[in-house]
Structure 1
Amino acid sequence: MERLFIFMLMLATCCATPKDMTGKVFVFPKETPRIHVKLLTTRTEFHSVTVCMRFMTDLSRNYGLFSLATPSFSNAFVLFKTDDDDNIRMHALDGGTDFLSLSFPPNTWHSICATWNSENGLAQLWMDGKPSIKRFIKTGPITGPPITILGQEQDSYGGGFDSYQSFIGMITNLHMWDYVLSNAEINNYVENKPFTPGNVFNWRALEFEKEWELYVEDECNVTMC
């Protein structure tokens, strides 16, 4: 049954059509265990990871931003806002660490970039262009067909969503690379300067499936332009 599920997942991914999401945002409008975006890729091995995105929310509770799971690890790579004020938890290979005392006021657009190196296990977070300290999580590559979710946190491979961990707000300009992005490239992303788009997920050519009442809006309809 698991092999059939993986085959169907890969088949769906192969048939997806990339979409240019420039100037668009994903809108997650309410608390529910159902609303999410599934990002599609054929890659099955990651020796390092960088994920960047912009988001806006008014939530003070915990919520999942980015959740990549494999058949072996439900928290293969995760970005999760904890109940503690302004703390972000990063998971890799089911290990995790908290980045503390960050600053991202509500109802404001924020950029977040997260890096993790599988060789030495070191992770770092950039919030609105300000780098955190580096923290150790775990070493070793991520392998296996991934299921990648925005707006929920997977407690099992492709599921286990919790409405009280669901994201409410907006996400845009998401990119993922299978290497640690340089400081200069992260700075270019933050400042909206030319940068190398993600080679795993690219907002300008994104393959995705949106679930239930997830909306795609023009950025100028939800924020000041």
Structure 2
Amino acid sequence: MPAGAPCRLLLASVLLLRACAQGFGQTRFVCTSVPLGADMCASSLQSGGSAEDLQSTVLQLRETVLQQKETIVHHKETIRELTAKLGRCESQSVLEPGPGEPKAGGGASRKQPGSAKNTMGDLSRAPAAETLSQLGQTLQSLKTRLENLEQLSRLNASGQGSSLRDLLQSKIDDLEKQVLARVHSLEEGKLSPRNESEERSKIESTLSALHQRISDLEKGQKDNRPVDRFQLTFPLRTNYMYAKVRRSLPEMYAFSVAMWIKSNASPGVGTPFSYAVPGQANELVLIEWGNNPMEILINDKVAKLPFSINDGKWHHLCITWTTRDGVWEAYQDGTQGGHGENLAPYHPIKPQGVLVLGQEQDTLGGGFDATQAFVGELAHFNVWDRKLSPGEVYSLATCSSKAPAGNVIAWAETSLDIYGGATKWTFEACRQLN
């Protein structure tokens, strides 16, 4: 290599690096060819006749750098798109908790700012894991209805009832196998989106047909069923599925509210009932939202309740309250688990309001938020305008005697209007204890 070659290469490299680093800003560098054996330092300070050629080379290098930057940006976009697609694929095979962020405190007046409504009612756009959970809940509900038919059916005399129930039970078992197979396919990544859609459509079609056959059987028994032997089922968190009590609460200086309830929703079972009056949406509300404990709200004042019910089993709940000193008591399955005072003391429950089951009201009769909706089953919702004694509560929870229905709100099919797809099925409270 000629003697001056290393120096010329080093000078050119330094000039190129400095030009790239400074983005061709205020400083200008000019390279000049140096003859062999010449003084490098002296020659580098002189302006040669090849300045135009050197400037052209620099511009070409700059263009190359810009092209490389564009290529890098393009690759980053591609990586982001692939990452997003991978995340969507993974979300279809991993079970995730229900939607909604935990809320600080209870009641509608303390929502997180900017929280969006979420209907979750469109099964065609639900994640695969969520749809599987909904199918599982539907299968369990169909089993419960089938058990009710076995207890109440009048078809045995003809010898056809048993065979028909056996057929329905067989179909339910087959559906369970299909759901389990679908779960395994999702976990192993073997189910393509097209096959998944076809499989889901097939299962939902079979469920609809089975649901209709059981409903037809139940219609034949409805005339012989007492008006209070039914339950309401809210299978999904939506902002449109609820039941409305046809009459308002009167002015009350004391009350007792009792109900049978079943849920395995998480986080929080939602709002079993809410009562709103003009000017106060939280006049009387029972709610379990997010990771907070269940709470009772009276005139927007809050007391935390010691209930634990989201185990998928039936539980009897009762809450009593008097306006004097705001004394309250909470019973689960006939046993008092908590009590307190100063809950909205000397504030009577106001009349002329709207009583809703399954949703929390932000406005009178509306303003529902799907994240606060009740998910589960509800029955024998009764309201009294007095404080029940511990013995009366125990009798209600254990069916040890024929306890009277609520003198303000009595559980009856004729007292409710049902909206948004909430279903009404046969229910016998005391049979759940056996």
Shorter-chain TM-score bucket reads: 0.7 to 0.9
Contact kept? 1:47, 1:141, Cα under 8 Å: yes
1:133 deviates by 2.6
Say which of 153, 157, 170 aligns to 2:377: 170
Match of 1:122 in 2: 327
- CA distance in 2 between counterparts of 1:205 and 1:20 reads 9
Moved more, 59-68 or 211-220: 211-220
Say which of 304, 309, 312 aligns to 1:104: 309
Give the AA of the match of 2:299.
Answer: L
* Bigger CA radius of gyration: 2
Q: How does 1:138-217 map to 2 (within 5 A)?
A: 138-139=344-345, 140-192=347-399, 193-204=401-412, 206-217=414-425
In structure 1, stretches of 5+ residues that fail to align are 1-18
- CA distance in 2 between counterparts of 1:168 and 1:65 reads 8
Contact kept? 2:289, 2:372, Cα under 8 Å: no
Contact kept? 1:147, 1:158, Cα under 8 Å: yes
1:38 aligns with 2:256: no
User: What CA deviation, in whole Å up to 9, does each residue of 1:22-44 have, x standing for no partner?
Assistant: 22111112121000011122543
Contact kept? 1:20, 1:206, Cα under 8 Å: no
- CA distance in 2 between counterparts of 1:171 and 1:91 reads 19
Secondary structure of 1:138's aligned partner: coil
Q: How does 1:3-18 map to 2 (within 5 A)?
A: none
Residue correspondences, number: 203
Residues 162 and 42 of structure 1, relative CA distance in 2, 3 Å threshold: closer
1:183 deviates by 1.1
Residues 42 and 169 of structure 1, relative CA distance in 2, 3 Å threshold: closer
Say which of 98, 111, 132 aligns to 2:337: 132
> RCO greater where, 1 or 2, for CA within 8 Å and sep 6 or more?
1
The structure with more strand, counted as a fraction of residues: 1
4+ residue runs over 3 A deviation: none
1:105 deviates by 4.4
- CA distance in 1 between counterparts of 2:237 and 2:289 reads 16
1:127 deviates by 1.2
The structure with more helix, counted as a fraction of residues: 2
Give the AA of the match of 2:247.
Answer: T
Residues 106 and 142 of structure 1, relative CA distance in 2, 3 Å threshold: same
Residues 119 and 64 of structure 1, relative CA distance in 2, 3 Å threshold: same
Give the AA of the match of 2:397.
Answer: V
- CA distance in 2 between counterparts of 1:64 and 1:43 reads 18
Contact kept? 1:51, 1:174, Cα under 8 Å: yes
1:180 deviates by 1.0
Identity between Structure 1 and Structure 2 (%): 25
Secondary structure of 1:75's aligned partner: strand
Secondary structure of 1:55's aligned partner: strand
1:204 deviates by 4.2
